[in-house]
Chains A and B, each alone.
Chain A
Amino acid sequence: MSDYLRLEVRRTLRDTGFVIGGIAMPVMMYLLFTNIGENDGAWKTASMVGMAAYGAVGSALNTGGAVAEDRAVGWLRQLRVTPMTPRQVVTGRALTGAVTVLPAIVAVLAAGGLVNGVRLAAWQWAVITLLLWLGSIPFTLLGLGNGYRLTGPATGVANMVCNLGLAVVGGLWFPITLFPDWLRSLSAYTPTNRFAQLGTSVADGHSPAPGAMLVLAAWLLAFGSYAVLSYRRSAENI
């Protein structure tokens, strides 16, 4: 299992599209959005968490893109004729997703601390990283659901729509205080908004709201079921 994880993580990190789109882009967008015009320290912190979340969501969804690609080239089928069980392959893929979201989170937080001068207590940095890491699991499952269900190009499109749509509506790019009322109420039910909230609560010095946990748990269940259904549907064709 650890061999498989190592192999897939290595393959992901060799993907230029992933490194640029999944790691460099969120960092650049963060630095851009917080250094044009007048900005207070609070926005630098909130946007740091938002963009780290955005990067994590993109990287998590990318796992699904990789699955679609591996299906298309026959790699998953080849694995089926080795002693690896399907369960090991899926678990290995999900763990790969868990590992490959970390660079984006760490890179954006580092940009916040080192470039933008965000100051937080050591425990806050650690807990934010941990929560953003764990909170990305639903998005990995969403990506896997897309990757097992759709063709390679369709997975790319679906992931991009999910990523941009959820990022914007969830307030990862712009503060939701700029949104009209109806959009702001909608935003509170998006997984991305609640995902970032895990981090912003801790940055503000308190624990995440139960509402955030509840909404995320509901999405975890929904995306998890979607992933399982997609996987079952495609299992014979892999």
Chain B
Amino acid sequence: MTQTENTAVSFTGAVKTYGEVRAVDGIDLEIARGETVALLGRNGAGKSTTIALLLGLLEPDTGTVALFGAPPERSVRAGRVGAMLQEARAVPRVTVGELVSFVASRYPAPLPVAQALELAGIAELTGRRVDRLSGGQLQRVRFAVALAGNPALLVLDEPTAALDVEARHAFWDSMRAYAHRGHTVLFSTHYLEEADAHADRIVVVDRGRIVADGTGEELRRAAGGNLVSFDLAGQGTDGLALLPGVRSVEVLGGRARLRTDDSDATVIALAGLGAIRGLEVVRASLDDAFLALTSRPTETSPPSETSRPSKVELV
């Protein structure tokens, strides 16, 4: 297969602005066929705009977006894409079976309707009116609608927002079953654990940019493998950012928190400064990694870094 044929999603310098707001501010992204990718970010980070560009619902102001080497609209028309959009409500006056079989019949090679309903865990709801379902049931109907056409690329915008814990587990099982058929899946979420548990790869978006891209483990490492914290005891933070290994410095309740690539070197340097009161070294969690990667401009950053967190470079 050529590079293009093997690429499901490709963003090149995509920008989308709304007035002054740069909702998507220069995104470059390649997703290979068969990958399961999480788009992780806070609310308002640009995930939904990114997905709208990807689906051809919006046109980028500059840059390009391609699905399977073609403009998004063309790939959507060709039936290679299925999507579960955010904030969609119930379609009034239609049954689950009618809705799913209608959508399936739009696609050239759909799943059998019974199978789509089964995968989404709503086989028993076939005859029910969509507008009389609970929020969780509706969410699964929308999932069934997304996968009914057996699309090569399944796009899910915050798919678990209305689900309780049990339904969430069932949902991810279904999603993985679909991905295991060799399909490409892209989902957005602001839950770290979901991204870590269910995606091969996590793309972290913040303020319209990709700030990190890798596996959960790589993100943890990239964000600074360890956190070294100690009581400042009235001392200033001058120079802490320049200590060996230190990537960022935060002060919380009189304690300095140093994110470091090399905690041993950092601790030795701190010992040299005599700054070891209440010293603690812990492994950075994925939460810490996420916070570090998407840190707000108001938080302290070391002078050696730019105001934006550096992008994780992966081979």
Mark A residues whose CB is within 8 Å of B: 3-4, 7, 10-12, 14-15, 69-70, 72-75, 77-78, 80-85, 236
Contact = CB atoms under 8 A, between A and B. Distances in A.
B57 A73 contact: no
Given A14-B93, A77-B57, A83 B88 contact: no
A4 B108 CA distance: 16
B85 A83 contact: no
20 contacts: A3-B102, A10-B93, A10-B98, A12-B93, A74-B87, A74-B88, A74-B89, A75-B88, A77-B85, A78-B88, A78-B91, A81-B57, A81-B76, A81-B82, A81-B85, A82-B76, A82-B103, A82-B106, A82-B107, A82-B149
Interface in B19-44: none
B89 A78 contact: no
Interface of A is mostly: helix
Given A74-B89, A81-B82, 6 more contacts: A3-B102, A7-B94, A10-B93, A74-B88, A81-B155, A83-B77
A84 to B, nearest CB: 6
B83 interface: yes
Interface string B73-90: 000111101110101111
Contacts of A75: 88, 91
A18 to B, nearest CB: 10
A83 B78 contact: yes
A74 B107 CA distance: 20
A74 B76 contact: no
Nearest to B98: A7
Contacts of B87: 74
A69 B58 CA distance: 22
A162 to B, nearest CB: 23
Nearest to B94: A11
A78 B78 contact: no
Contacts of A82: 76, 79, 103, 106-107, 149
Nearest to A18: B93
Which 10 residue pairs across A and B have the least CB separation, nearest first? A74-B88, A73-B89, A14-B93, A81-B83, A11-B93, A82-B106, A83-B79, A75-B91, A83-B106, A7-B102
Given A81-B81, A81-B82, A15 B93 contact: yes
Query: B77, B103, B145: which has the most chain A beta carbons within 10 Å?
Result: B103
Interface string B274-285: 000000000000
B105 interface: yes
A14 B91 CA distance: 13
B85 A85 contact: no
A82 B83 CA distance: 8
B45 interface: no
Contacts of B106: 3, 82-84
B297 interface: no
Nearest to B80: A83
Contact of B145 (A3, A14, A78): A78
B239 interface: no
Contact of B105 (A3, A15, A73, A81): A3
A4 B99 CA distance: 10
Contacts of A78: 83, 85, 88, 91, 103, 145
B102 A74 contact: no
A72 B98 CA distance: 20
Contacts of B78: 83
A77 B57 CA distance: 8
Contacts of A77: 57, 85, 88
A22 to B, nearest CB: 14
Nearest to A6: B102
B51 to A, nearest CB: 10
A72 B87 CA distance: 10
Nearest to A85: B77
Contacts of A4: 102
A3 B102 CA distance: 7
Contacts of B253: none
Query: A69, A82, A236: which has the most chain B beta carbons within 10 Å?
Result: A82
B93 A83 contact: no
Contacts of B83: 78, 81
Contacts of A10: 93-94, 98
B153 to A, nearest CB: 11
